[in-house]
A and B are shown apart, each in its own frame.
Chain A
């Protein structure tokens, strides 16, 4: 079955820095890749997604890059703020939309942003 790996497992940065979180998957049938974040004591929340027919998606300070050939994604966060401190999860699925199936999640990347 699908396996999703994330690197690094944790990182600490100063406020204002940019960070890159890498994600790789194994199943070439995966076509949908949403990312979620979990702030301390809060619910998991959706932050950004990309489909396999796209190479890049950007929303505010988040940029998600997708390379189908290498089965690799990277999430770039610019101008980090202490409020960005959270665990970031990459996930993959072999379908999306109304027939969308289960999401397989990576182990997560713990981001700590120091003021």
Chain B
């Protein structure tokens, strides 16, 4: 079991470009969470899917961030017009159901130049 798979591991974009981050949850898991990790802010909640349906996107910057889960095997986080302050490690986590015992991926380190 490879666990939660996130691709790419590293992504470098220029200011204003688009970035798409991918997450493959553990098979059979119905809950998928996205978090952003920085030294200054720590772990910030972005959004949460349950059985592919969006449940809570209260942490998503509304204008440029969007997340989807088109099927049970993957979720994407898209950032349009990336800004230097978007630089962070973006973490995806899944669980059998709900918020107990999340399994995290290695994360995607996004660097916006």
Contact = CB atoms under 8 A, between A and B. Distances in A.
B60 to A, nearest CB: 12
B101 A103 contact: no
The size bracket of the interface on A is: 20 to 34
B42 A32 contact: no
Given A43-B3, A43-B105, A44-B104, A105 B42 contact: yes
A46 B99 contact: no
Contact of A46 (B45, B56, B102, B106): B102
Determine chain A's interface SS by DSSP, over half rule.
mixed
B97 interface: yes
Interface in B62-113: 91, 93, 97-107
B22 interface: no
A33 to B, nearest CB: 11
Given A34-B100, A49-B100, A89-B42, 7 more contacts: A34-B102, A43-B103, A46-B101, A100-B100, A102-B56, A102-B59, A106-B42
A93 interface: yes
Q: Which 3 A-B pairs have the closest CB atoms?
A: A100-B98, A100-B99, A105-B43
Contact of A103 (B3, B45, B97): B45
A103 B99 contact: yes
B11 to A, nearest CB: 18
Contacts of B107: 43
